[in-house]
Each structure stands twice: as C-alpha cells, then as structure tokens.
Amino acid sequence: MGLQHYADLESCLSVAVDAAKRAGQIIANNFNTAKVIEHKGMVDLVTETDKACEDLIFKLLKSTFPSHELIGEETSAENGTPLLTDAPTWIVDPLDGTTNFVHRFPFVCVSIGLVVNKVPVVGVVYNPILKELFTAVQGKGAYLNGKLIHASSQDKIGNSILATEVGTTRDKQTVDRTTNCINNLLFQVRSVRLSGSCAMNLCGVACGRLDMFYETGFGGPWDVAGGALIVQEAGGLIFDPSGKDFDLMSRRIGASNGHLKQPLVTALTSYV
C-alpha cells in the first residue's frame, strides 16, 4: 500500500503518541473520580471515559490519515468488529483495563496499533498513571519512555514470572479451564501475576518484568495490536497459545521472551 517508508511510519508513530497522550490525560483526569459504569457483560465494563478517549483518538487519526481504516473497541461494541483488510488500519483500545480504571487500580493504558497488510508496523501503549510510554516501529526496536527495552534473558521456566488474566467470561467451562491451567503452571513457574490489562502485560514481557504471558478470549484485536509489535521489537516472541502463528483477530495470544515459548506452549497444551 506504499506505507512502508521509514519516514511515513515515524510520522504515524508521532501522531499515535500524541493521540495516546491526549487520551491518557482524559484517563488521568478522571481516574480518581466516581465513574458511571455500564455493563457490556456481567463483569465486562465500559465507562464514559472509554468512549471519550476513543472519540478523541479516532478524530485525530481520521483527520491526519483520512485514507486509513479504523477499528476501535467501543465503536465495534456498537457496530460489530469490522473485517481487517490489507489497508493501513489503526486498531485502538482507548482504555485497556477498564475494570482497573473503575477501581482506581493503576494498570490502565491506551493501546494504539497501526496494521498494514494485516501486520503490525507501529505500536503505542501509554499508561498515564504510571507514566509509562511504550513505543515501537517495525524494525526499529522497542522503547519505554525513550529508552531501548528488551525482553528478559531468562531461559528456565522455574525462574520465570507468568502473567495471565481471568477474563470476563464466567461460565463453568471457562472458569474451570482457567483454574486448571493456572494450577498446572503453578508447579512450573516462579510466580504468577494477574494485573488486569492485556496491553500492559505484553509491554511487561517486552521490558523484561514478565517472562511469559497468555490470554484467551479477550475482547478483540485492539487489546494486542499495539503490544504485540512492542514485544517483537524487544526481541520477544508472539504466537498462538497452541504454538501456531499468532492471529490478530483470534482473541488468543501467547507471548514470551526469546527462550520460553516452547515450555509455555507445552504447559498450555490441552488447556487452550
């Protein structure tokens, strides 16, 4: 589609960072106030802040890149998730970690990914409460607040920290599978972290504070489009939890540093 030049991607990154910071300011301003919560599902929440952030980000991206497509969580909740084409497409989670936002638990972020030919080429994840800005451009490395970051070098699963989430589906089959999977992993890893934001988990693997992450059944491609590129640019791996190739639209993800993909995939076998 022509949007492969470094200069083009750098300017895309710059606009995405600007959008993320502005949306982040809305999140920070509203963080300590009472929230009006709507339920998309029993434990699947949305607030006015999610919607305001998506509006702001969409407007900025549409006005700067009128030929680009847009996929956003809240717009998709209204209208259905659009099909992903080869066209340059911005995939946006205006507020990842809405439950955390409602409870004032500080793992919340804006996640913006630019996908071209169905491949992420620019990623921005911004946590305005912890003031952590994660960025990546394809081929150019991954950064946290301007410093180059790397996935960890841990090669023993017994010394590793695993992140996962319990998600928003609470039927018996899902809950039992989740806990059986965690049970199996507890015998193998150093510890487990559940922090409530898929994008923050991916960035955690990218900067080495986590060694592995998996989640199935999360909301949509917006949870992973930004973070997946950041992990890869940090030298980490992104894959389907079965070990097959990652599919951005599948609502399934596995992530690890450069060494632990196989042990994780093996441990997840028959649970995912």
Q: Is the dihedral of CA 152, 155, 157, 159 positive or negative?
A: negative
* Closest distance to another protein from the beta carbon of 71 (Å): 25
190 near another protein, judged by CB under 8 A = yes
Is position 155 annotated in a ligand binding site?
no
210 near another protein, judged by CB under 8 A = yes
Between the CA of residue 12 and those of 9, 25, 196, 235, what are the distances in Å? 5, 20, 28, 22
242 near another protein, judged by CB under 8 A = no
82 near another protein, judged by CB under 8 A = no
Q: Which stretch binds another protein (CB under 8 A): 50-58, 59-67, 68-76, 181-189?
A: 181-189
Looking at the Cβ atoms of 195 and 250, the one nearer to another protein is 195
How far apart CA 21 and CA 19 sit, in angstroms, is 5
Q: Are strands 252-256 and 237-239 parallel, antiparallel or unpaired?
A: antiparallel
Residues 91, 68 contacting (CB under 8 angstroms): no
Q: Which stretch binds another protein (CB under 8 A): 65-73, 118-126, 179-187, 225-233?
A: 179-187
Binding mask 142-171 for another protein (x = CB under 8 A): ----------x-----x--x----x---x-
φ, ψ of residue 255 to 5 degrees: the values are -145, 145
43 near another protein, judged by CB under 8 A = yes
3-state SS assignment for residue 195? coil
How far apart CA 180 and CA 82 sit, in angstroms, is 34
28 near another protein, judged by CB under 8 A = no
Q: What's the half-sphere exposure (Cβ side, CA atoms, 13 Å) at 158?
A: 0
Q: Which stretch binds another protein (CB under 8 A): 16-24, 52-60, 193-201, 213-221?
A: 193-201
21 near another protein, judged by CB under 8 A = no
User: Considering only residues 41, 186, 244, 262, which one is a binding residue for another protein as defined by CB under 8 A?
Assistant: 186
How far apart CA 169 and CA 216 sit, in angstroms, is 10
Q: Are strands 212-216 and 161-163 parallel, antiparallel or unpaired?
A: parallel
Q: Which stretch binds another protein (CB under 8 A): 66-74, 101-109, 226-234, 243-251?
A: 101-109
Query: What ranges in 6-139 are assigned the alpha helix state H?
Result: 6-30, 48-64, 73-79, 98-103
Is position 54 annotated in a ligand binding site?
no
59 near another protein, judged by CB under 8 A = no
**Residue 174, H or E segment:** helix 172-186
215 near another protein, judged by CB under 8 A = no
Enumerate binding residues for another protein (CB under 8 A). 42-43, 99, 103-106, 130, 152, 158, 161, 166, 170, 175-176, 178-180, 182-183, 186-187, 190-196, 204, 207-211
Specify binding-site residues for Mg(2+): 73, 93, 95-96, 223
